[in-house]
A and B are shown apart, each in its own frame.
Chain A
Amino acid sequence: AQKVTQAQTEISVVEKEDVTLDCVYETRDTTYYLFWYKQPPSGELVFLIRRNSFDEQNEISGRYSWNFQKSTSSFNFTITASQVVDSAVYFCALRDNYGQNFVFGPGTRLSVLP
């Protein structure tokens, strides 16, 4: 069975600090996809990144970066120089190669204080 764990329930940081959100996953599949979504107070889930299991290259997009390590089954997300607008709940998710079994973690609530 597939499972996603986000051990950090809530994190608070002061603006301009860097923050890393942890994600650990479990799957028996060799091909799978990992996602991060942001859920602001307005409620909709905003897609941030998709990564397939064969691409372990880390990715940077502006202040966001992702560290995928297959050896530890982790797909961590770092926000550099955090801003108040980054305050939201962030979800890590895992999906199999056929698009089924889309499993979300419980989410990490990030509060960035001014």
Chain B
Amino acid sequence: GAGVSQSPRYKVAKRGQDVALRCDPISGHVSLFWYQQALGQGPEFLTYFQNEAQLDKSGLPSDRFFAERPEGSVSTLKIQRTQQEDSAVYLCASSLIVLAGEETQYFGPGTRLLVL
């Protein structure tokens, strides 16, 4: 079956613009995660959904960042009033089961955001 897909793959925004990044998880996957990956760094956790419920948003860097998964499938990460420090790759991952240490996350190709 299809893997995790993300769109757009690349996004250039002017500082102050709002952006919306989309994630289509693997069908049937319960858990969905968003990560931010700065250049030359490992991914850093942003937020976690179990079905449509956002159970952890402790990694969101500011209140300009907002994520939703209204029907428990597709998720959107929205960044309002983008700043240059928001430039990064945003990765989405999904997993079959609820949050647990042993579950495996499957990652999408990411959206590379550049804020000018």
Contact = CB atoms under 8 A, between A and B. Distances in A.
B66 interface: no
A3 to B, nearest CB: 11
Contact of A104 (B4, B44, B99): B44
A43 B106 contact: no
Contacts of B112: 43
Select the residue from B4, B45, B89, B102 with max chain A CB neighbours within 10 A.
B102
Interface residues of B, number: 27
B40 interface: yes
A98 B97 CA distance: 12
A104 B102 contact: no
A106 B107 contact: no
Interface of B: 3-4, 33, 40-45, 56, 89, 91, 93, 98-110, 112
